[in-house]
Amino acid sequence: MTRFITIIAAASTLGFSLACGGGGSYANVDACKSYITTQNELPCMKAAQIEADQMCPSQLDMSPIDMTEYYGCMEAAAKCNGDIPDLAGQVDCSMPTM
């Protein structure tokens, strides 16, 4: 019985720390900012710049999910369709899940 209670307590602690943003050590902020920089440098984005510090808060690095591949996909798909951003390619980028 004691072993069962110990396992439940350990699982609860792990679940709580992950739910509260603990446990992550990924470069999500850098990947997000790289994507925002690429997006902002597009010729069709000259009039509407995205604020990287607002879109990529430091809390992204505390996520238990590695989102670097997602932001890399978004960055690779960043392009213009004439004078407007072409978001069609970014639709294929999937946000990772736990």
**Domain coverage including residue 40:** 24-92
Tens digit of each residue's pLDDT (9 = 90 or more) over 28-66: 999 999 999 999 999 999 888 999 999 999 999 999 999
Residue 11 maps to a domain: no
Where does residue 51 rank: exposed (0-12), middle (13-18), buried (19+ CB within 10 A)? exposed
Q: How many domains does the chain have?
A: 1
Query: For residue 5, is it within any domain?
Result: no
Establish if 6 belongs to a structural domain: no
Q: pLDDT by residue (tens digit) across 68-88?
A: 999 999 999 999 999 999 999
* In-domain check, residue 2: no
Per the domain annotation, does 49 fall within a domain? yes
Residue 50's identity, in one-letter code, is I
Asked, for residue 10, whether it belongs to a domain, the answer is no
Beta bridge partners of 80: 85
Q: Let me know if residue 67 belongs to a domain.
A: yes
